[in-house]
């Protein structure tokens, strides 16, 4: 089947070379039983590609099921995928078949595969390599013939380096990788998609379709679209319903487009030219880096101050340096360092300087761990203590879900 026929059949619009190539790979691999890994940002339509592969395969008359690995609690995902025996855990009143049993002969689409717990990853690897699995609470090995298509919006290799994803599973899943381009990488398709959505919503709400003037088109195309096609569709629906005019100007369009998202943290420059997004896993690491750099600068200032205390002639030789130290003292940057700033330099030179160990610890450097996992564990423990062990409140304070907190507790072996 040619690319245009696939687009017509599955309602895919766009003519960008990256999109056409992804569709070509999907069509070529469909008639095999190879495992496929679909990679792309959230909202680009990865599930549509899994449907294309299944529908064009020899398994098209057999079951197809899509499973969101991030939406299933860690404690039940093994049961969902592989089934369980009666009484195998609290609440298991009856035996239950898992997806790998019910979809036997068909295709299973594992979305957000990067969210899958490590224990479940080991079970999945066995299925992919031998076609065997064991129900939770059973010792009987069962066979299944299921094609696996996985998808992720994360960098799995980065998760492998962090110990959160199995390297052998990554290479087993990515037998054939398909990269679905983000909307900002296919700018030529943005207005085309908007017109399609505008016509669809006009038909749905029984109104005339909205149109964009030239300036509005430019604004639409230059917007970064972090939510990809899903966000574009939502914006088209909002405009179709809420706009009183059917010809949309740039000023009118601006009302519907959110503020351009972006990292407001300072960019850390590196000699190698690598961007901060490549150097750090997330914004929290950047913050830690900034904090430790600030601490290093303050430590250096204290050392300089100590040099002046021990050798007053330095201050006499460089009055500008002394003025700088006065400013820092006035702003409490060096508030814990004892010095009589206002004392005349001649008197300072004549008087002995007493430095107490409990005031300055310039020779004592405490090596703190810069490991992000150590800091994350420390924050989790603090949050639990703050909220007296209440997971829900602690997770809310940390800005993560309760399920993610539960997983972190097990991962870091934190006792509540």
Q: Do residues 216 and 287 share a domain? A: no
Classify residue 416: in a domain, yes or no.
no
Rg (CA), the chain: 30
**pLDDT < 50 stretches in the chain:** 263-282, 331, 333-335, 337-366
State the Cα–Cα distance between residues 416 and 408, nearest whole angstrom: 12
- DSSP assignment of 53-108: HHHTSTTTTS-EEEEETTTS-TTTHHHHHH-B-TTSSTT--S-B--HHHHTTTSEE
Distance CA 384, CA 375 (A): 14
- Give a yes or no: residue 259 inside a domain: no
Q: Is the residue at 177 inside a domain?
A: yes
The per-residue pLDDT for range 85-105, each reduced to its tens digit, is 988 787 777 888 999 999 999
Residue 192, in any domain of the structure: yes
In a domain, 88, yes or no: yes
Residue 302 counted as domain residue: yes
| Same domain for 193 and 173 | no
Q: Is 376 inside a domain boundary?
A: yes
Sign, Cα dihedral of 119, 121, 123, 125: negative
Lookup: tokens for 152: 């992720």
58 burial (CB, 10 Å; 0-12 / 13-18 / 19+) is exposed
- Domain end (from 120, 150, 181): 181
Structure tokens at 72: 């299933």
Same domain? For 202 and 242 the reply is yes
Q: Which of 181, 210, 237 is the last residue of a domain?
A: 181
How many folded domains does the chain comprise? 4
Does 57 map to a domain? yes
Question: What's the CATH number where 249 sits?
Answer: 1.10.8.60
**Domain termination site, one of 153, 181, 209:** 181
Judged by phi (left if over 0) then psi (alpha if -120 to 50, else beta), residue 367 lies in beta
For residues 141 and 57, membership in a common domain is answered with yes
* CA-CA-CA-CA torsion sign (226, 229, 234, 237): positive
Helix (DSSP H) and strand (DSSP E) numbers for the chain = 20, 9
The DSSP annotation for 287-347 comes to: HHHHHHHHHHHHHHHHHHHHHHHH-THHHHH-HHHHHHHHHHHHTTTTTTS---TTS-HHH
Residues 235 and 313 in one domain: no
Q: What's the domain range around 75? A: 3-181
Please check whether residues 155 and 82 belong to one and the same domain: yes
**CATH number for the domain harbouring residue 170:** 3.40.50.300
332 and 349 together in one domain? yes
Exposure string for 222-232, b = 16+ CB within 10 A, e = fewer = ebebbbbbebb
Q: Please state, in angstroms and rounded to a whole number, the distance separating the CA atoms of residues 60 and 48.
A: 14
pLDDT digits (tens, 9 = 90+) for 228-284: 999 999 999 999 999 988 999 999 999 999 876 554 333 433 433 444 434 444 455
Please check whether residues 291 and 338 belong to one and the same domain. Answer: yes
Can you give the pLDDT at residue 273?
43
Distance CA 151, CA 110 (A): 6
Q: What is the CATH number of the domain that holds 407?
A: 1.10.10
Please report the sign of the dihedral spanned by the C-alpha atoms of residue 46, residue 51, residue 57, residue 59: positive
Please indicate, yes or no, whether residues 195 and 343 belong to a single structural domain of this protein: no
Per-residue model confidence (pLDDT) at position 356: 45
Same domain (yes/no): 364, 379: no
Q: Are residues 235 and 380 in the same domain?
A: no
Q: Tokens in use for 325?
A: 């130290």
Same domain, 13 and 148: yes
């Amino acid at each position: 089947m040619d690319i245009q026929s696939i687009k017509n059949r599955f309602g895919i619009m766009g003519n960008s070379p990256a999109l056409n190539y992804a569709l070509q790979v999907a069509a070529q691999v469909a008639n095999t039983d190879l495992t496929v890994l679909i990679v792309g940002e959230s909202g680009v339509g990865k599930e549509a590609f899994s449907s294309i592969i299944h529908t064009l395969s020899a398994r098209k008359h057999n079951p197809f099921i899509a499973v969101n690995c991030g939406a299933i609690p860690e404690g039940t995902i093994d049961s969902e995928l592989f089934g369980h025996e009666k009484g195998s855990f609290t609440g298991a009143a009856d035996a239950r078949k898992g997806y790998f049993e019910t979809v036997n002969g068909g295709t299973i689409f594992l979305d957000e595969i990067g969210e899958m717990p490590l224990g479940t990853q080991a079970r999945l690897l066995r299925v992919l390599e031998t076609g065997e699995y064991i129900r939770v609470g059973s010792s009987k090995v069962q066979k299944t013939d299921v094609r696996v298509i996985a998808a992720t919006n994360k960098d799995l290799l980065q998760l492998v380096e962090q110990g959160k994803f199995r390297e052998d599973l990554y290479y087993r899943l990515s037998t054939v990788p398909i990269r679905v381009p983000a909307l900002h990488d296919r700018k030529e398709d943005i207005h085309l998609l908007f017109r399609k959505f505008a016509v669809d919503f006009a038909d749905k709400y029984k109104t005339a379709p909205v149109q964009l003037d030239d300036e509005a088109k430019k604004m639409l195309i230059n917007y970064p679209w972090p939510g990809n096609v899903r966000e574009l569709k939502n914006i088209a629906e909002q405009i179709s319903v809420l706009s009183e005019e059917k010809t949309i100007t740039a000023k009118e369009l601006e009302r519907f487009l959110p503020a351009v998202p972006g990292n407001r943290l300072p960019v850390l420059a590196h000699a190698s030219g690598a961007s901060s997004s490549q150097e750090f896993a997330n914004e929290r690491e950047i913050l830690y880096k900034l904090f430790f750099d600030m601490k290093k600068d303050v430590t250096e200032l204290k050392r300089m101050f100590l040099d002046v205390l021990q050798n007053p002639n330095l201050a006499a030789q460089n009055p500008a340096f002394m003025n700088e130290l006065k400013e820092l003292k006035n702003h409490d940057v060096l508030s814990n360092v004892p010095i009589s700033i206002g004392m005349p330099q001649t008197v300072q030179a004549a008087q002995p300087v007493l430095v107490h160990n409990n005031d300055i610890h310039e020779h004592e450097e405490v090596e703190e761990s810069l490991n992000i996992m150590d800091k994350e564990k420390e924050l989790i423990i603090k949050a639990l203590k703050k909220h007296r062990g209440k997971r829900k409140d602690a997770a809310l304070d940390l800005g993560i879900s309760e399920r993610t907190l539960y997983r972190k507790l097990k991962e870091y072996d934190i006792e509540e």
